[in-house]
């Protein structure tokens, strides 16, 4: 009996079929490539931040459009007439500034304590 042979490749081309192994079984499949982990770069972080910022801007714009009617605001003797959206946004900004001021004061306090403790440990 003769063993079956591979079909001949056309002239000028090479066969992509693997050669038959000595024991007649097919060769093992090639190992699959190991996926590389995605790198987090500054540009990818900036892109994510820009997308989140645009999404937030769209939400704010919808809020402003839906709450455009004017309201009377009285605060410490001042009387204003603003749109509801602008008044709420100004209140949110004022609250964020107050929180930033409180956080800055606490960080400054902790830095002073750390500096004082470092000086005490160097003196002893």
Backbone angles phi, psi at 15, to 5 degrees: -80, 140
CA–CA separation, 82 and 79 (whole Å): 10
Whether the model clears a pTM of 0.85, i.e. scores above it, the answer is no
CB atoms within 10 A of CB 120: 9
- pLDDT band, very low/low/confident/very high, at 123 (cuts 50, 70, 90): confident
Helix extents (H) in 1-124: 42-66, 84-123
> Percent of the chain scored above 90 by pLDDT?
25
Say which residue the tokens 């056309």 belong to: 10
Is 28's pLDDT higher than 80? no
Question: Which has more pLDDT, 8 or 36?
Answer: 36
């Amino acid at each position: 009996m003769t063993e079956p042979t591979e079909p001949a490749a056309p002239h000028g081309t090479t066969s992509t079929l693997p050669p038959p192994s000595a024991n007649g079984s097919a060769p093992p499949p090639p190992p699959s490539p190991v996926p590389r982990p995605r790198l987090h770069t500054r540009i990818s972080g900036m892109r994510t931040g820009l997308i989140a910022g645009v999404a937030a801007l769209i939400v704010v714009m919808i809020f402003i459009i839906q709450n455009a009617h004017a309201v009377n605001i009285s605060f410490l003797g001042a009387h204003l007439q603003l749109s509801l959206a602008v008044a709420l946004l100004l209140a949110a900004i004022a609250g964020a500034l107050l929180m930033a001021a409180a956080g800055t004061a606490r960080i400054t306090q902790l830095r002073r304590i750390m500096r004082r403790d470092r000086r005490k440990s160097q003196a002893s």
